[in-house]
Amino acid sequence: LSSAKRKFADSLNEFKFRCIGDAETDDEICIAKSLQEFATVLRNLEDERMRMIENASEVLITPLEKFRKEQIGAAKDAKKKYDKETEKYCGVLEKHLNLSSKKKESQLQEADSQVDLVRQHFYEVSLEYVFKVQEVQERKMFEFVEPLLAFLQGLFTFYHHGYELAKDFSDFKTELTISIQNTRNRFEGTRSEVESLMKKMKENPHEHKNISPYTMEGYLYVQEKRHFGTSWVKHYCTYQRESKRITMVPFDQKSGGKGGEDEAVILKSCTRRKTDSIEKRFCFDVEAVD
């Protein structure tokens, strides 16, 4: 999840809007930089979240693990010792009850003393076990609850950091909201005009030619010599009648863009090829000024 958030933030930061026209409006500038602002907020939130997670290991998991090993583990050991002594004590009692009354007095007294010793040891082990259980119960009140409190404090710090980020982001959010609304309003306002103009251009294409500094422009295939013959290479060409300047730019159809350096020449002559001299229908020879 963390990796996905950071990749998303990186993608937002690298994304660039392409605006129509040479100059950008204030609204377009605001909208264009919004993605970088979003990326910054996401990164800051993720950094704080990672600090919270790392802090959780120190203030919550480690203390609880220590409590489990040292306190609960000690109580379990005391329980095992108590169970063992209980079994031993019960065995001694059972054996003592089965003693014959015909035994000598000295033997009976010795057996009584043995029972007293085992009972005393059992009593001590029982007290230790009860003490340890009580200690664990009491320690839970602070050694278990206190780490949880510290973890929640870290959680609150994370949420407070998010609140501070939101507060700092508030002014830009307001500005961005206004810019988005302005852009939407302009779009809705000009949409009908654009549709009307498009309709007129479709109905009378010759009356609505594109305004261009060039007399003609478009795609041409230029025959180029290769090691093993010739090849037709697609170019985007522009021509200015006044200066007789032709500019040719190699165009790669697959990549959808410029495929080489510009080449400009001054036209000396342009002669249409005869149809029977070449397999191409529309072909002409261009001679440039040296």
What are the 10-residue block averages of pLDDT along the chain, 290 residues in total? 80 76 75 85 88 86 89 90 89 77 70 83 90 89 88 90 89 89 84 82 70 82 81 87 88 70 86 76 82
Residues 83 and 138 in one domain: yes
**Domain extent at residue 229:** 216-288
Tokens matching residue 3: 């990796």
pTM: predicted TM-score of the whole model, two decimal places: 0.50
Residue 97's pLDDT is 77
For residues 140 and 69, what is the distance between their CA atoms, to the nearest angstrom? 13
Final residue of a structural domain among 126, 161, 193: 193
What is the total count of domains within the chain? 2
In contact, 245 and 270? CB cutoff 8 Å: no
Sign of CA dihedral 197, 200, 205, 208: negative
Residues 172 and 220 in one domain: no
Residue 131's pLDDT is 92
Residue 199's pLDDT is 84
Residues 188 and 222 in one domain: no
Residue 105's pLDDT is 66
Judged by DSSP in three states, 136 sits in: helix
Residues 24 and 147 in one domain: yes
For residues 8 and 134, what is the distance between their CA atoms, to the nearest angstrom? 52
Is residue 204 domain-resident?
no
Is residue 198 domain-resident?
no
Residues 108 and 223 in one domain: no
Provide the β-strand partners of residue 269. 287
Residue 102's pLDDT is 66
Residues 231 and 159 in one domain: no
Residues 124 and 41 in one domain: yes
Residues 265 and 151 in one domain: no
Residue 24's pLDDT is 75
**What is the CATH classification number for the domain harbouring 83?**
1.20.1270.60
Report, in angstroms and rounded to the nearest whole number, the Rg of the chain calculated over CA atoms.
45
In contact, 267 and 281? CB cutoff 8 Å: no
Residues 127 and 265 in one domain: no
Is residue 157 domain-resident?
yes
Residue 211's pLDDT is 66
Residues 43 and 151 in one domain: yes
Is residue 93 domain-resident?
yes
Is residue 100 domain-resident?
yes
